Amino acid sequence: MQPAVIAIHGGAGTITRAAMDAAREREYIEALQHVLQAGQRILAEGGSALDAVTEAVRLLEECPLFNAGKGAVLTHAGTYELDAAVMDGATLAAGAVACVTRLRNPVLAARAVLDHSEHVLFAGAGAEAFAQSQGLELVGPDYYFTQARHDQWQRALGNAGMALLDHDGAALVAQGKTQASDPIDPDSKFGTVGAVACDGRGNLAAATSTGGVTNKQVGRVGDTPVIGAGCYADDVAAVSATGTGEMFIRTVAAHDVAAQMRYAGLSLEESARRVVMEKLPAINGRGGLIAVDRAGNVTLPFNTEGMYRGFARVGEAVNVSIYG
């Protein structure tokens, strides 16, 4: 038996202690612990890495604290457009949906694409029709609404229409730094969610889901549903990313973690470090990723102030952290 493990993230960005009160911090920590315990249980019962990451991301989508499913950020037009992907490292099977507006759980639609379609990536209305044909739940736009994301969007609109990362926006609001006259750092906030796992058979899987970046242009697709950019799994590593999506696409970030291990013989930790601390910053890419390999090693690097993150090995206590 392999040492089964699951890791999750709830986005990276300007997450500082100063911008967080104790009650809010508790909420995040408890949410992450709850999701990790659910994933840990699936692995402990002999479930697959693919099932564990799908369920972990579904639970993160259900939680309004994170920018995926309920609690997603708004586009420039005040609408919601969600992206998700899932990949099975054992078979290289993958499924993804982009720009969906009516799916309660985009990750379940991505999983249905993986399981039941000859295609890999569906977008927009076609993705929703496919999900509906698979019996998945459709919701109205009100389902995704949270006052916090709405306020962030309003502030972003008042700041020269910049797009911003979810947790950066939250930090600026908390610091009172988002008056209309203040520039918002467009690179400072990401709230995507993701999970990676290695199961008892040594199989790997990854899943990622997001509402994207606050105030994004309608039709913009980030790295999350792009296989190899924001989500990737093979028999070497499973990776889920969060951050400035355009840079993760340009560096093919998630795939690069596995590729450097396969072709250059790097360890999981060193490979992920080079991507997050060297290759992404070289083009102003901000964010982080979570990764596991088939020996059960875990790494959770980020180049922002914080990243909601944690991991849980079967039979061991759950580990959760927020700050650097």
Site residues for ligand ASP per CB under 6 A: 11, 67, 165-166, 190-192, 210, 212-213, 222-224, 230, 242-243, 245, 287
- 245 annotated as belonging to a binding site for a ligand: yes
79 is in an annotated binding site: no
Separation of CA 237 from chain center: 16
State which residue, 165 or 206, has the beta carbon closest to ligand ASP. 165
Q: List the beta bridge partners of residue 9.
A: 194, 309
Cβ nearer to ligand ASP, comparing 178 with 210: 210
223 marked among binding-site residues: yes
**Least distance from ligand ASP to the Cβ atom of residue 221, Å:** 8
By the 8 A CB rule, do 241 and 287 touch? Answer: yes
Q: What amino acid is encoded at 225 in this protein?
A: P
Rounded to a whole number of angstroms, the minimum distance from the CB of residue 86 to ligand ASP is 16
Element (H, E) at 302: none
Closest to ligand ASP by CB, 101 vs 203, is: 101
Between 203 and 244, CB nearer to ligand ASP: 244
Q: How many whole angstroms separate alpha carbon 287 and alpha carbon 251?
A: 13
Report the residue number whose CB is nearest to ligand ASP. Answer: 245
Question: What contacts 173, CB < 8 A, 6 or more positions away?
Answer: 148, 151, 152, 155
**192 in active site:** yes
Closest approach of ligand ASP to the CB of residue 164, in Å: 10
The answer to whether the annotation marks 242 as part of a ligand binding site is yes
- Which residue among 54, 101, 192, 208 is the active-site one? 192
| Amino acid symbol at 310 | G
Compute how many other C-beta atoms are within 10 angstroms of the C-beta atom of residue 303: 19
Is residue 140 marked as binding?
A: no
Could you give the CA distance from residue 271 to residue 33 in angstroms, rounded to a whole number? Answer: 27
User: What is the Cα 10 distance to its own chain's centre?
Assistant: 6
Binding site as annotated, residues for substrate: 220-223, 242-245
Catalytic residue ranges: 192
